Amino acid sequence: MSLHEYRRKRRFDRTREPEPGAPPRGERAIFVVQLHHASRRHYDFRLQVGDALKSWAVPKGPSYDPAVKRMAVEVEDHPLGYAGFEGEIPHGEYGGGHVARFDTGVWATDGDPQAQLAKGHLRFELFGRKLKGGWHLVRSGKPARQPQWLLFKDRDEYAGTLEADDLLADVASPPAADAQRAGRGKPRKRRLAEVAPARARRRDWAAAARKLPGARRAPFDGGAFELQLARLVEAPPPGEQWLHELKWDGYRIGVGVAAGRARLWSRNALEWTRKIPEIAAAVEALGLDSAALDGELIAGRGAREDFNLLQATLSGEKQGALSLVVFDLLHLDGWDLSAAPLLQRKALLEQLLQRAGPHLRYSSHILGEGERAYALADEQGFEGIVSKRADRAQHPGRSDEWRKSKRLASDEFAVVGYTPPKGARSGFGALLLARPDPAHGWSYAGRVGSGFSADLLARISKRLPRGAAAPTVHVPPHDTDLRAARWFAPALVVEAFYRGVGGHGLLRQASFKTLREDKTPAALADRDRGPGAAARLRSNSNSNSGPPPKRTAMTRKAAKASAGKAKAGKTRTGKSQAAADLDDFRLTSPERVVYPDIGASKRDVAAYYLAMADWLLPDIVDRPLSIVRCTQGAARPCFFQKHHTAGLDDVDSVSLEEESGQRADYLVVRDLAGLMNLVQFNALEFHPWGATAQRPDRADRIVFDLDPGSGVPWTEVIAAARQLRSLLAKLELQSFVRTSGGKGLHVVVPLNPGCDWDLVKPFAHSFAETLAQMEPLKYIATATKKFRNGKIFVDYLRNGRGATSVASFSLRAREGAPVAMPLRWEELGRVKSGHAFDIRSAQARVKRLRRHPWAGIDAVRQDLDRLAERLQRLRPDD
């Protein structure tokens, strides 16, 4: 249920309960349980899912006995602010009575909680002071006015005989009148404020620790300690003296234990104990008096694809289960082990973790055989390996005794500026990156503009200084236009993927990986690379994709192309800056005529896409892509291409499974260089999937193509688009419109967070069929041309996995070089046809635009939940 129901039931001028507002960001997903003396005493059990608290009323409260299944009645969602509410709800108001907080903390689950709730069984873990371990919510099959569920404990180390009423020692008592009216609950002897963690059977670990070579007796206070760091190398070192571990993709965590209590520290000595309480509890369950552990916090398997889940869990967007993979043991029950050989420290660590729960894992290794370990890591989807001298003591800081080898090049950079956003984008266009430089302090390394979600754009934008027009770092001769950039001193640290380094040290095809909250720009001065690292990076970054790509003219730009600009905006050669920029790209046969009816050449096409890149790229970047290539011009036969081929050096690819069951490499554009590479290959049209390359099975766009048959006037096409908009609004779906560049219009429905194709395609089909049934003389939902005269074909076929539709601002391979142009709904009536904009007028239009016609589309949050209920609203008798 939505927060609308919560608001409807309350009068906020009479109750102190919080009104729905903007949810807090950046914290983990929470749970809260409140003891409520309303007309009847009960516990309110609430789990954060998305931006609201899913809520159940549990009359008898949770029980630690797995055999006891407590009824939980689903009630309306509550705002996140309700987690902090305590006190009296006035009598006569909804829920009148006393509310006290019983317990709160964070929670986690494996998988999508919404999907589990929809199926009727949510398995989850709670990390509070009183409620701990695994739990279940199972929907009852009994018919009832409100959905009924069963809440019960999992059979884990916390299971026992405790009841919620045993844990009221620190819970505020209700007024006597409320207690008398609502009931006090059954009297219980035990009144606890906290449930102690289950501890492992005590073992004399000190006796085992002191046997290690180099062990010495020493106290330890559980505080932060300096970690050993690895240098980046091209390949793992040979020799039996090296052990090789997976390079886990997560956050480094140091664990300190003193007097049995665990404290967790990030790499830059920030305390994370409250942020990841499940890890602290798992360490305390080991039953140690003192210890120092070194590990990596991960989600899922800890592979490359799991890093986003880790970030989303820590920020509260998801509820993933977290683990600490432990790879070193430096102190144990009064003994400092840092001088012992690593191999022996790890052997003792493995014994220590044998009975640990699922939130602590041992990081296993391979002795010798570095190349085999490297290959296995790549096969299993990990970023690489870390190789460590097995016979050495621990040495804080960076040294050659720990070395990391990566398959996919990524590195950390300081953020020193940004370019302004264009089109529908908000916040910034791209971040400007810099790396430490002994000669200049900091040197510009390139920009990163792809890989940002809407939430990341908003979060990072708030932390960017205002900046100035003058660069704050050394800027070598470069290949990007930074005239509108804003610069500031190094402020943040980000990690970015890239596909090699260009001739002036600038990153090629950079994409954002993560914001490194655990690092500062000052820490980057201690780089994790030895001599010759730049050459190794250029080699290593392409080790998983065949031979290194050829350098394009863009990466060979010489200083004279930008150093000799006159005040009038011209180069020494007299060319305009736009022409000079175009000359930076490889373009063969630039004068060949592509559109013979208007005399437009290949150079004109390239100039168009260069000028429109900031508007077009957001529609195609990071999506599987089909292109229309016209090697002999638009007037001759053209062909579709969707698979990667040789020569597309600046175009990325993604391996996707096709209907045949075979896998193929699909085109993916990551940046301007990729776009212009395709233009060089005579691409005229760009047709992206309605899904990203990262999540190809989750649709984030629905496109209805209104294709008029012969005899249908343009005014009816406009009316049809408006009717679709109205009907979609009845289904609580916001939509946007664009000209197709052909005869018709596209009505586009964004989906966020997206849906599976097996839901999207039937929905689009049903919607089109419903329109045809409502007005059979106006619409048709079948593609057969002989039935389409005088009707508008509602083409829903662009909404299956692998189907595409033309991108906004793409040219079409048709007479006149028309353009698919996004519109504001209010300007639709002024447009004269589906091909009203062309290669020239489109550029003139965007120069007049103050913002993208679809501004805000990325902020729309909508999906196809409750599909059957919504489709009922489209019945023909409406």
Residue whose pair of structure tokens reads 């984030």 in the numeric block: 700
Concerning whether 247 is annotated as a catalytic residue, the answer is yes
Contact 624, 641 (CB under 8 A): no
Q: What is the secondary structure of 173-218 as a DSSP string?
A: PPPHHHHHHH------S---S-PPPP-PPP--HHHHHTTSTT-EE-
From the centroid of its chain, how far is CA 860? 16
Contact 232, 528 (CB under 8 A): yes
Q: How far apart are CA 621 and CA 449, in angstroms?
A: 10
Residue 155, CB half-sphere, CA atoms under 13 Å: how many?
1
Instruction: Give how far Cα 364 sits from Cα of 285, 299, 774, Å.
Output: 21, 17, 64
521 three-class SS: helix
Q: How far apart are CA 134 and CA 154, in angstroms?
A: 5
Q: How many CB atoms lie within 10 A of CB 834?
A: 24
Q: How far apart are CA 399 and CA 389, in angstroms?
A: 11
The active-site residue out of 247, 346, 388, 602 is 247
Residue whose pair of structure tokens reads 């014994």 in the numeric block: 351
Q: How many CB atoms lie within 10 A of CB 604?
A: 18
Q: How far apart are CA 601 and CA 590, in angstroms?
A: 7
Task: Determine the length of the chain.
Answer: 878
Nearest Cα neighbor of 643 from 663, 621, 620 is: 663
- Phi and psi at 543, nearest 5°, equal -70, -15
Nearest Cα neighbor of 822 from 766, 722, 748 is: 748
From the centroid of its chain, how far is CA 270? 24
453 CB-contact burial (10 Å; exposed 0-12 / middle 13-18 / buried 19+): middle
Q: How far apart are CA 648 and CA 717, in angstroms?
A: 39
Exposure pattern of 154-185 as b/e (b: 16+ CB <10 Å)?
Answer: eeeebbeebbbbbbbeebeebeeebbebbeeb
Q: What is the secondary structure of 36-74 as a DSSP string?
A: EESSSEEEEEEEEETTEEEEEEETT--BS-TT--EEEEE
**Strands 410-419, 397-406: pairing kind:** unpaired
Instruction: Give how far Cα 726 sits from Cα of 348, 690, 755, 759, 780, Å.
Output: 67, 22, 22, 22, 18
Largest CA distance in the chain: 93
Nearest Cα neighbor of 263 from 279, 287, 286, 285 is: 279
DSSP state, residue 509? S
From the centroid of its chain, how far is CA 837? 35
Contact 496, 513 (CB under 8 A): yes
Q: How far apart are CA 626 and CA 32, in angstroms?
A: 48
Rounded (5°) CA angle 719-723-729: 145
Instruction: Give how far Cα 526 sits from Cα of 226, 435, 520, Å.
Output: 14, 11, 11
Q: Is the dihedral of CA 421, 427, 429, 432 positive or negative?
A: positive
465 CB-contact burial (10 Å; exposed 0-12 / middle 13-18 / buried 19+): middle
222 three-class SS: coil
Residues marked as catalytic: 247
